Structure 1
Amino acid sequence: MSTPRTIREYLEQLRAALGGADPALIQDALYDAEDHLRSELAENPGRSEAEVLAKIANSYGAPEEVAAIYVDKEQVVQQALRQPSPPPRRSALGRFFGVAADPRAYAALFYMLLSLATGIFYFTWAVTGLSLSLGLSILIFGIAFAVLFFGTVRVLALVEGRIVEVMLGERMPRRPPYTDRELSWRARIGAMFTDPRTWSTLLYMVLMLPLGIVYFTLAVVGISLSVGLVAGPFALLLAQFGLIEGGIYLDGRSIVPPIVMMPLALLLGIVLPFAVLHLARGVGRLQGALAKHLLVKSSAS
C-alpha cells in the first residue's frame, strides 16, 4: 500500500484496512485518526501535509498498523465487557428457566420500560424540529436553525447508541461520523443534509414512538399478569378464611375463578415471568439490530 500524502488518502486507506470490521468500530477509528492527524498538522504549520504524514507514519502508525491495533483492542475490550455466559443447559426446561440467570434479559426488559419515555421525546424532537426547519426556511435564520437541529439529531444518535450498547449489548459508535475538514463550511453543511444517516436517524426517532408504546405495553402487561397470577390465589385463600376482604363482584355474584383453578393460575404466574424475560431478550436483539442499521454509518459510506 502506497504512503498516503494527504489526510483524505490516509483515512481512505484506514477504511480499506478495516474492511469487514464492525461499522461502529470503523466510525470511531476514522474519527480518532482524523482528529489526531489534524492536530499534528496544526502543530506543524511550516510543513506540508505530505511531510507531516510521513512523520506520523513512524509515530502514530501506517493505516494498516492502526487498523490492526484497533481490531486487537476491540477484541480485548469486548471480551472484558462481555457478560459471563450461563452454564449450557441441554434440556428444554433448563434453557427456558435458565433465562433468569441472563443479566442481558433484565437490561432489555428495563429498556422496554424506558422506551416509552425516550420514544415520546425522540418523536417530539424530530417532528417539531423538522416542522420548524421547514417553516423557518423562508427566513434568513431558517438555515441556521436547520443546521442546529440536525446537529442535535447527531448528538441524540450518539446518546441512543450508548443506551443501546449498555442495555442491549450491541456495539455502537462512541464517536460522531468524521467530516472532511478540507471542504468548505457550505460543502460540509450540504454533506450533512445529504448524508443518508441523517435521515435514517430521523426515521429511527419517529419509529421509536410506536415501538416504545408496544415495548412498554408488553413489559407492563407481562409483569402485571405475572404478579397478579401469583398473588391472586393467595389473596383468594386469605379472603376465604375471612382474613381480608376481597373479590370481584358483578350483580352481587363473585366472578373470581373457583378455587380449583388456583393451581393453574399459580403455575401460569410462575412460568410467565420467564416467558417475559425471553420476550425481552428477543426484543433487545431486534432493537439492537434496528439501531445498528439506522444509526451507524456503513463501512462503505
Structure 2
Amino acid sequence: MTTPRTINEYLEQLRAALRGADPALIQDALYDAEEHLRAELYERPGRDEAAMLEHVVESYGAPEEVAEIYRDQEIKVQRAIRPPPPPPRRSLGGRFFGVAADSRTYTALFYMLLSLATGIFYFSWVALGLSLSVGLSVLIIGLPIIVLFFGSVRVLSLVEGRVVEAMLGTRMPRRPVYPSRDLTLLQRIARMFTDWHTWTTLCYFWLMLPLGVAYFTLTVTLLSASLALLAAPLAMLFRNDWFAGLYVDHQMTVDWGFGAHTPGWGDAIGMLLIGVLLLFATLHLVRGIGYLHGLMAKHLLVRGAEQGA
C-alpha cells in the first residue's frame, strides 16, 4: 500500500485495513488517528501534510500496523472488561436454570426497567430540540439552537452507547465521530442534516419511548406474575390474613379448567412450580431482548454500522 500523502488518505487506508472489524472499533480508531494527525499538523504549521505523514508513519505507525494494534488491543480489553462466562452446562435443565448465574441477565433486567425513564427523557429532548430548531430557524438565534441541539444529540448518543455496552454487553463507540475541521460553520450544519447517522440517532431516541414502555411493562408484569405464583404456599399458610381479594364467599378458589374448587397444598405446589418456570423463562426473555436491543443500538448509533462496515 502506498504511503498516504494527506490525512484523508491515511484515514481511508486505516478504514480499509480495519474492514471486517466491529464498526464501533473502526469509529474509535479513526477518531484517535485523526486527532493525533491533526495535532501533529497543528504543532508544526510550517510542515505540509505529506512531510508530516511521512514522519507519523515512522512514529505512530502505518495504517496496517495501527489496524493490527487496535485489533489486538480490542481482544485484550474485551477479555478484561467482560464478566467471566458461566460454566458450560450440557443438560437442558442446566441451560434453562443456568441463566440465573449469568451476570448479564441482571444488567439486562436493570436496563429494561431503566429504559422507561431514559425513553421518556430521550423522546422529550428530541421533541423539544426539533420543535425549537424548526420554530426558530427563521431567526438568527435559530442557528446556534440547531448547532447546540445536534451537538447534544451526539453527546447523548455516546452516553447511551456506554450504557448499552455496560449493561447489555454490545461493543459501542468510546469516541465520538471526529468533527470536520476543513468545513465552514454553514457546511458543518448542512452536513448534520445530510448525514444519515444523524437521523438514525434521532430515530433511536424516538423509538426509546415506546420501547421503554414495552420493556418496563413486560418486565414488571412477568416478574409480578411469577412472584405471585411463588407466593402461593404463603397464601395457604396465611389465608385468613393475606390475599383476601382472592376469596369468593369467604373461600379461596382456583380453576385449572376443571371447575372452581378450594385449593389445597397440591394446588399451591403446582402454582409454585409454574412460578419458578415463569421466573426463569422471564430471565431468558430479558436476556434475549437485551441482546436484540444491543444489535439495534449498534445499527442506529454507530456510524457505518448500517452499511455493515
Task: Give me the TM-score of the superposition, normalised by structure 1.
Answer: 0.94
Q: State the secondary structure of the residue aligned to 1:46.
A: coil
Aligned to 1:7: 7
Aligned residue in 1 for 2:133: 133
Matched residues, number: 298
Answer yes or no: is the 8 Å Cα contact 1:108–1:281 preserved in 2.
yes
Whole-angstrom distance in 2 between the partners of 1:233 and 1:146: 59
1:24 correspondence with 2:24: yes
Query: 2:188 maps to which residue?
Result: 188
The residue that corresponds to 2:105 in the other structure is 105
Distance 1:256 1:3, change over 3 A: same
Q: Which of 276, 280, 292 does residue 270 from structure 1 map onto?
A: 276
Q: Residue in 2 aligned with 1:55?
A: 55
* Contact 1:247 1:254 survives alignment (8 Å): no
Contact 1:8 1:180 in 2 (8 A): no
User: Where does residue 295 of structure 1 map in the other structure?
Assistant: 301
Question: What residue identity is the alignment partner of 2:192?
Answer: M
Q: What residue is the counterpart of 2:75 in the other structure?
A: 75
**Counterpart in 2 of 1:247?**
244
Percentage of matched positions with identical amino acids: 62
Q: Which amino acid aligns with 1:264?
A: G
Secondary structure of 1:224's counterpart equals helix
Task: Tell me, yes or no, if structure 1 residue 41 matches structure 2 residue 41.
Answer: yes
In the TM superposition, what is the alpha-carbon distance from 1:256 to its structure 2 partner? 4.2
Deviation at 1:231, TM superposition (A): 1.6
Unaligned segments of structure 2, at least 5 residues: 255-262
1:136-147 to 2 correspondences below 5 Å: 136-147=136-147
Residues of 1 paired with 2:186 and 2:10: CA distance? 24
Offset from partner CA, 1:53-90 (integer Å, 9 cap, x none): 11111111111111111111001111222222222222
Q: Partners of 2:183 and 2:104 in 1: how far apart?
A: 43
Q: In 2, distance between residues paired with 1:278 and 1:291?
A: 20
| Stretch deviating more after TM superposition (88-97 or 194-203) | 88-97
**Which residue does 2:259 correspond to in 1?**
none
Residue type at the aligned position of 1:45: P
Is residue 97–residue 280 contact of structure 2 (8 Å, CA) maintained in 1? yes
TM-aligned CA deviation for residue 99 of structure 1? 0.6
Quote the Cα distance in structure 1 between the aligned partners of 2:175 and 2:215.
28
Code of the aligned partner of 1:234: L
TM-score (norm 2): 0.92
| TM superposition shift of 1:246 | 4.5
Which residue does the alignment assign to 1:159?
159
What stretches of structure 1 of length at least 5 have no aligned partner?
Answer: none
How far did residue 253 of structure 1 move? 4.2
Partner of 1:282: 288
Q: Is structure 2 residue 232 aligned with structure 1 residue 232?
A: yes
Stretch moving more, 142-151 or 152-161? 142-151
CA distance in 2, matches of 1:297, 1:48: 30
Q: Deviations over 1:254-301 (max 9, x none)?
A: 454322421111111222221111011101111000000000011668
**Aligned-partner Cα distance in 2 for 1:157–1:246:** 46
Cα 1:115–1:245, aligned 2, differ >3 Å: closer, same or farther?
A: closer
Letter of the 2:268 counterpart: M
The one-letter code sitting in structure 2 at the alignment partner of 1:263 is I
Match of residue 150 from structure 2: 150
2:183 is paired with a residue of what secondary structure? coil
Inter-partner Cα distance in structure 1 for 2:247 and 2:138 = 62
Deviation of 1:249 after TM superposition, in Å, equals 5.7
CA distance in 2: counterparts of 1:116 and 1:279, whole angstroms: 18
Measured in 1, the distance between the counterparts of 2:228 and 2:247 equals 20
